[in-house]
Chain A
C-alpha cells in the first residue's frame, strides 16, 4: 500500500497513544459538547452489544420461521387492481361488490376513494368481465394499475433474489479478503476481516428481513409486505452495509501498521473511536435522503424507503458494535502471529 508507506510513524503513534490527548479530541466530532471523561470501551462491552443485536434478531427469526412473510403480489402471485371510485363507495360497499363477483377478491382501502382489490390470478377475459362488473355495481371506475403475476414468475423472483444475496455475500467476502490480506497474518487475517464484515452484513439482512416479517406477518401492516422493491432494498443494504465496516477495518489496518505497542483489542477500540463519527455521518446523509423519499415519494416507494432506512441504520450499528468486536473475538479463537 503505497498510500501508507510514507506515514509519519512517530506522529501516528502519538495520535493513537492510548492515554494521550489526541483521542479525546475525536469525541467532539460526535458531539461538540464537553469531552467525555474517558473513552468508550466498546470492545470490553462487546457482549452487551451482541446481546442487543440478538434481542432484535431472535424475534425476527422466530417470526420468519413461524409466520413467514406477508407476500406482496410479486411473490404471492395473483391479480391486483388499484382503482379509485369517484362515487365514494364505502369499504363495505366495495367489499360487497367484490364478494358478489364470487372470485375470492379481497379489498384494501388506500385512503380517499382509492382501493386495492386482490384476486387469485385472473385471465384477460375474467379481468375484463370483472372490470365491467365493478363498473355496474360501483359506478365509474378509474383503474390506476393492474398487476397480474403468475406462479412461475413469483417462484423465479424468490429464487433469483436468494441467489443474488448469496452471490453478493460471497463476492464481498472475497473482496475484503483480497483487500485485507496485507495486514499481519496474510490471507488468514484477510479472511478474518472478510468474515467479520460478512457476519455484520448478515446481521443487517436478518434484522431487515426479521423486522419486515414482524411488520407484515405478525402486525399485518401493508408496508410490511415484501415485493421486488424489498429485494432491491436487501441487496442495497448488502452493498452499503459494508461501507462503514470497511471504514473501520481500513483504520484498523492502518493503526496495526503504525503502532506495534498496542494490543489488538486496543487497536480495534481506538479505530472504532476514530471512525465512529464519520460512519454515522455517511449513513446520516443517506438517512436524510430516505426520509425525503418516505415523506414525499408516495406510497409505492414508502416500503422501499422504510426497508432501506432499517437496513442502513442497522448497517451502521453493526459495523461499529458488531463487526470490529467480532474481529477481536475471532482473533482470540484463532490467534495469528
Chain B
C-alpha cells in the first residue's frame, strides 16, 4: 500500500485529472462562441488533431436516424465471401453518399461474412432502404429505327433492351490506354455476357460496315436503372431530355412513380466486333471520372441480395428527449449517492464523493477519447456504474470503522482497512468485468454498448476508489483537525 500513497501515483492521478478536465471541457467555448450546437460533430472544432475531434459520439437512438441489419443471400459461387462482403459494403457506401449523411457507418458482421449493419443518422428508414436497396442496374441498349422520334440523343431512333446488363459484368477497372495517353475503363464480362456482347458488336458493325463508319446502330448506350417504361415514353421529348442527362444517384434513390431522373451513363461507339469478353470504354476521361465510372459500373449492381433482418428508425426529437432524461437521471443519481455518502460517512464520505466526481469526469473523458459511441443503454451502464463506484469505498469505510473499534489509531486503521478490504473488492469487480466481457463478445448487438460502458466504469471506479480515496484520506488525516469521532462516523477515536 506504500505504492498507492507514493508521489508518482499522486502525480499520475493529478495528470489524469487535468487531462480529463481538458478533454471534458474541450470544444464547448468554441461551440458557444460560434453558436454551434453543444453536441455532435462541428466543423473545425478545436482541439483538432489531424481531423481527430473530441466530442461525444451519439448512437442512433440518441441522435435520431436509421439502423438496419442486412442478411446477404445468393452469394456468387466460387468467390471469397469476405471479398464479396467488402464489395457489397463499398457499393452501399457509394449509394449512401448520395444522401449526404454525416458519419455513415457501414460495417460487416456475421460469423460467415453474411451480415452488414448500416447506421445512418438523420435519415428515415424509408429513405435508407430505398437508397441501399435501389437496384442500380447497368443496362446496355442498342438503337432501332423509329420515325416518330424527332428529338433525343439519336433523332429517328429509339433504344431497345439488349439483354446485356450489369449482371453480365464481372469487373470494371480504370486504367491508361495502350498509347499511355488517356484514361479508359476496361470492362470484363462474364462468359454469358461475353457472347452477348460479341453478338451485339457484330450486329452493330454490320449495320454500317467499313472502318471508321458511324451510324446510330453502332452506338451501344449504357444506362443505369433503364426500364422498358422509359422506352415506351421515348416519343415524349421532355421525358427523353431529362432521362438523357447524366445519371443522378440521389434522384434515383428518392424516385417516386412520376419523377424522371437522369439515367445516362455513357454512349460509346463500336469500332469493331469484340469477342473474348473484354471491352474498353473510352471518352474524354480524367483519372477521376474514369475511376468514378469504374466504381459506378462495379457498384451498379450488388453482388448479393440484401434482406433487411431488422430496421430501427428513431426520430431526432425522441433521441433528444432520451438524452435529456438520461442526463437528468444521471445527475439525480449522482446527487443522491453523494448526499448519502456524506450523511452516512461524514468526512470520508465527502472524500469518496470527490473521488466519485473525479471518476465521472475521467470516464466521460475516456468516452470522448476512444471514442465510445454512446447509446441509451450505454448511458444507463454509466449511470449504474456511478452507484457501483462507491461500493469499494463502502467496503473500505466499514472496515475502517471496524479497525478503529478494534483499537487501532486512525492512520493504522486506514491502512489496514484498505489492505483487508482489497481481496473482496478485487474479486467482486473481476466478476463484473468478466460478465461485461462475455456480454460484449457473445451478447446481442443491442446490449454491447451497455457492456462496454459498464466495464470501463467498473475499471475506472476501482482506480478512483482505491487510489484516489485512499490518497485523499491519507492527506486529510495527516492534519489533526479531522480526527474527531463525529467527523469520521465512528464511535470513538484513539488519539495516541
A interface, size bucket: 35 or more
Q: What residues of B have a CB within 8 angstroms of the CB of A150 in the complex? A: 307-310
Q: How far is the CA of A193 from the CA of B387 in the complex (A)?
A: 27
Query: A9 in the interface, Cβ–Cβ < 8 Å?
Result: no
Q: 0/1 per residue, A284-309, Cβ < 8 Å to B?
A: 11111111110111101100110010
CB of A86 closer than 8 Å to a CB of B:
no
Interface string of B268-302 (1 = CB under 8 A from A): 00000000000000000000000000000000000
A73 to chain B: closest residue by CB: B310
Q: How far is the CA of A277 from the CA of B489 in the complex (A)?
A: 14
Q: Which of B315, B328, B430, B454 makes the CB contact (< 8 A) with A175?
A: B430
Contacts of A246 in B (CB 8 A): 424, 427-428, 431
Residue-by-residue, is B422-458 near A (CB-CB < 8 Å gives 1, otherwise 0)? 1110011011111110110011101100110010000
**A11 adjacent to B384 (CB under 8 Å):** no
- B129 interfacial by beta-carbon distance below 8 Å: yes
Q: Is the CB of B340 within 8 A of A229?
A: no
Residues of B within 8 A of A286 (CB): 384, 387-388, 391
Most buried by A among B308, B317, B395, B407: B395
How far is A171 from B399 in the complex, measured between Cα atoms in Å?
Answer: 28
Residue from the set A153, A239, A278 with the largest chain B CB neighbour count within 10 Å = A239
Question: A46-81 interface mask toward B, CB cutoff 8 Å, 1 = contact, 0 = none?
Answer: 000000000000000000000000000010000000
Q: Mark B317-351, 1 if CB is under 8 A from A, else 0.
A: 11001100110111011001100110010000000
Looking at B92-100, B140-148, B195-203, B375-383, the stretch in contact with chain A turns out to be: B375-383
User: What is the CB-to-nearest-CB distance from A155 to chain B, in angstroms, rounded to a whole number?
Assistant: 11
Main secondary structure of the interface of B (DSSP, over half): helix
Contact call A236/B435, Cβ cutoff below 8 A:
yes
Query: Is A214 an interface residue when CB atoms closer than 8 A count as contact?
Result: no
By beta carbon, the residue of chain B nearest A77 is: B310
Is there an interface contact between B428 and A277, defined as CB atoms closer than 8 Å? Answer: no
Q: Please name the residue on chain A nearest to B386 by beta carbon.
A: A289
Given contacts A145-B313, A288-B340, contact A235 B447 (CB under 8 A): yes
Q: Which residue of B lies closest to A28 (CB)?
A: B491
Q: What CA separation (Å) do A128 and B313 show in the bound complex?
A: 13
A287 CB contacts on chain B under 8 angstroms:
387
Identity of the chain B residue whose Cβ is nearest the Cβ of A284 in the assembled complex: B340
Contact A250 B424 (CB under 8 A): yes
Contact residues of B between 363 and 405, Cβ < 8 Å to A: 376-377, 380-381, 383-384, 386-388, 390-391, 394-395, 398-399, 401-402, 405
- How far is the CB of B21 from the nearest CB of chain A, in Å? 24
Enumerate chain B residues within 8 angstroms of A119, measured Cβ to Cβ.
none
With known contacts A146-B312, A146-B313, A290–B406 Cβ distance under 8 A: no
From residue 280 to 337 of chain A, which have CB atoms closer than 8 A to chain B? 281-282, 284-293, 295-298, 300-301, 304-305, 308
Contact check, A289 vs B336: say whether CB atoms are below 8 A apart: yes
B413 CB-CB contact with A under 8 Å: no
Q: Mark A66-107, 1 if CB is under 8 A from B, else 0.
A: 000000001000000010000000000000000000000000
Mask, A228-248, CB within 8 Å of B = 1, is 110110011011101110110
Interface residues in A156-208 (C-beta closer than 8 Å to B): 156-157, 160-161, 163-164, 167-168, 171-172, 175-176, 179
Query: Interface centre among B133, B344, B405, B447, by most A CB within 10 Å?
Result: B447
- Which chain A positions have C-beta within 8 A of B402? 26, 274
Interface of A, secondary structure class, is helix
From B333, B384, B406, give the contact of A236 (CB < 8 A).
B384
Residues of B within 8 A of A143 (CB): 313, 315
Q: What is the CA–CA distance of A145 and B67 in the complex, to the nearest angstrom?
A: 11
Do residues B384 and A3 form an inter-chain contact, with CB atoms below 8 A?
no
B69 at the interface (CB under 8 A from A): yes
The reply to whether B315 and A145 form a contact with Cβ atoms under 8 Å apart is yes
Closest approach, in angstroms, between the C-beta of B64 and any C-beta of chain A? 10
Contact with B along A94-138 (1 / 0, CB 8 A): 000000000000000000000000000000100110000000000
Question: Are the C-beta atoms of B125 and A124 separated by less than 8 Å?
Answer: yes
Residue of A nearest to B69 (CB): A153
Cβ B344 vs Cβ A281 within 8 A: yes
| A146 in contact with B332 (CB, 8 Å) | no
Given A144-B314, A175-B427, A289-B336, 10 additional A-B pairs, CB 8 A? A124-B311, A149-B309, A150-B309, A171-B434, A231-B447, A236-B435, A239-B433, A239-B434, A285-B341, A292-B333
Residues of A within 8 A of B (CB): 1, 3-4, 11, 15, 22, 25-26, 28-29, 74, 82, 124, 127-128, 142-150, 152-153, 156-157, 160-161, 163-164, 167-168, 171-172, 175-176, 179, 228-229, 231-232, 235-236, 238-240, 242-244, 246-247, 250-251, 254, 274, 277-278, 281-282, 284-293, 295-298, 300-301, 304-305, 308
